[in-house]
Chain A
Amino acid sequence: MKKIFPILPALSAILLIYASYQALKVAPTDALQGDVYRIIYYHVPSAWTAFLLFLINFVASITYLVWRNDKSDVLALVSAEVGVVFCTIVLVTGPIWARPVWGIWWAPGDIRLTSTLVLWLIYVSYLVLRKFSTSAQTQVMAAALAVFGALDVPLVYFSIWFFRTQHPQPVIGGGGSMDPRMLHTLLVSWLAFLLFAFLVCWSRYRLELLKRGVERAEAMESLVGAGAAATTSLPLGRSPR
């Protein structure tokens, strides 16, 4: 991993540029919406990536509750945080697309927008809990909250789905068959964003390990500073990997 690490950002950058080129130049213009529809090449891959990251967060949280290993806790934190970033992008680009196409920024009855917003709220509250919790058992609380959030997702979808059918709204016609070139561009774009998300997650993962290392070192130093122990050969000076 460490050896191939310098290659990955370059590869990711090339892929992203290629995907953006495909999205802006190669993919055909939509007959109904014109060029604005090209927003979906950023919007939809971001959404898929966010959902994948939230799924990872759920699995990692369950793993943590069962085995209590630090690694899955860090994984849960990282995937939730990066997932929220991608989810924010979905929520920002969604209305930007909706304004010229539907004529409104936000359709309260639209199931996908609204359930994505609720999902975003749930995972932001997860991150807030992690930030404000003072006890040493933050991880357990956070994992429990993640399980609650994941249980909530089908209910959110279900409730809004019914709510919408009760209150018809101008909703996109997502249906119909897609031009194969469009689908190809969409998948290339997703691949590029997945690789990018993986890199961001990896950096965030290392950041979290570094942070925990610093916390441990600080605790050690305060112990040593208290004069409890004499010179030790603690690996404090070692630079983090």
Chain B
Amino acid sequence: MLIKEFIQVLRDKRTRFMLFGPPIVQMLIFGYAATLEIKHVPTAIVDYDNTEASRDLISRFAASEYFDVRHLRADQRQIPMLIDRGDVTLAMQINAGFAQNLGKGQTAHIQLIVDSSSSNTALIGLGYVNQVAGNFAEDYQMSRLMRLSPAMTSGMPRVVLDHRPWYNTDLSDRWFFIPGVIGNLIMVIVVNLTAFAVVREREIGTLEQIMVTPIRRVEFILGKTVPFFLIGLLDSILVTAFGTLWFGVPLRGSIGVLAVGTILFLICVLAIGLFISTISRTQQQALMTAFFFIMPAIVFSGFGTPISSMPEAMQWLTYLDPLRYFQEILRSVYLKGVGLDVLWRQMAAMAILGIIMLTISVFRFQKSLD
């Protein structure tokens, strides 16, 4: 039984490739394409003041790697078109009187238009603008005070933020996404394979043939799941090795903890796959139903964006998602290097979910065989 299933999966050259090719390609695409980092934001600046002060401000923007100042001598009337066309994301206008206001100690205004159709780019871009402008303002104020009363500046209080990103010191998106992709891949591969395996037999009619052989139910279920369990395990070793060796994502925690998490997660996804197979008659149904499960599961897991930013009702739903816990385990073991003392909660949640889902699935599965 076990051997038959293995042979079936590994016989077809294309399926064989599909088991191991896409994981690698996906890792590659995710590793290189998935970046939320924003640099070189295309920027237009219109300077109607054209003084030393305004040029100083512009040069600070030009010097920053976050901005790509493209249209310097643009006319104010060109700005709407530049933004409409998507040529620039930021457009800044410095009005005449900028330096004069600064010199008088009054507030000088800068007009800024942001194309926020891509909100993340706009948000991060705005953050950078505030940073550059804030530094400019601070420097300018200091030099002004220096002129007015030099004594005062020597004892000026100041609070600065000394920020230290931990675990991912360079804030690399790759380090964030690669461990996450491992979870997604295992889920997609194992759920699909398991769901398909049973449904295909039913569709072709070989299920009846097997049922008349002396194979017991339990043996059948085991025969249908153990190979995929092993394939899932193999795939996870493959992608883990690839992520570590190719992309250099540090695996700081213990492989043992990772293995325990992976096994618990595999039980959960096998149960989901098995469940889908019991409610599908055709392979097409199985695939679409699997999609129904997998898509929300990936979104709810916090794979791409933080769970804390979701609406509260949705945050509660994420607790039912085994991938949520596995993502936390993957990222924690990889980047934080923490052990079971921290991750036991996630492990326990997955174990409970796995047992419940497996029980339901096996029960339904037995019924569907009758």
Question: A and B from one assembly?
Answer: no
Binding site for A on B (CB under 8 A): none
